[in-house]
Amino acid sequence: MKSVLIIGLGRFGRHVAMKLRELGHEVMAVDNDEKRINAALPYVTGAQIGDSTDEEFLRSLGVRNFDVCIVAIGDNFQSSLETASLLKELGARKVIARASRTVHEKFLLRNGADEVVFPEKQLGEWTAIRCTSEYILDYFQIDSDYSLFELEIPSNWHGRSILDLDIRKKYGINVLGIRENGKLDMNITPDKKLYKGCSVLILGTHKAVSKCFKI
């Protein structure tokens, strides 16, 4: 279980807080809006109304004691930068900040943020990839070269084994798992056969996956 400080309870911050609580972590929430704080009380461990650009207020929270501090402010460029910088100055172990545009992302990384999330950019890229093929069910970019894909199997794969398809040798991609009837099996063997309705978890470059699945 981790202790997490979330600053900013807009839509993004609220959903992060709810998911963290669902996963069993302790969540302290901060916002300068009393209505947002009251709305968050059912799914956070604690909450305080305050200005995150006020050094004394942040100090009073004991930011050093949290495993992660999340700056979820997306609509105020200056407040976001000041908050990330102050958290780091006060000894925060890890600062993750939300960016609303590219220049925001760059300044956050220069001013205290250890990591930056860019929800609109990341969701936009995911949507673009997802809609390029009827085969793609899910997608996650690991780095500039490699990505994880979950894809429906093509009709000509039906009844054939992973060994028979030999896609690792042909295309340089790896089958990591197979989903059947909603259950993902990661302990697969080369003789495992694929059937209509299955999906496969694939690791590879976008170019290789595109070639293999004709995306």
Whichever domain contains 77, its CATH number is: 3.40.50.720
**For the chain, what is the domain count?**
2
Residues 23 and 56 in one domain: yes
Taking only the tens of pLDDT, the chain with its 215 residues reads 899 999 999 989 999 999 999 999 999 999 999 999 999 999 899 999 999 999 999 999 999 999 999 999 977 889 999 999 999 999 999 999 998 888 888 889 888 899 998 877 777 777 777 777 677 888 887 877 888 889 898 888 899 988 888 888 888 888 899 998 888 888 888 888 888 889 999 898 888 888 887 76
* Start-to-end CA span in the chain (Å): 41
Which of 65, 97, 117 marks a domain boundary?
117
Domain that holds residue 106: 3-117
Tell me the two tokens of residue 183.
């259950």
CA distances from 49 to 31, 58, 64, 128, 208 (A): 5, 11, 19, 38, 50
At 99, list the tokens: 């960016």
Query: Is 18 in the same domain as 87?
Result: yes
The span from the CA of 17 to the CA of 113, in Å, is 19
CATH number at residue 198: 3.30.70.1450
Do 92 and 192 reside in the same domain of the chain? no
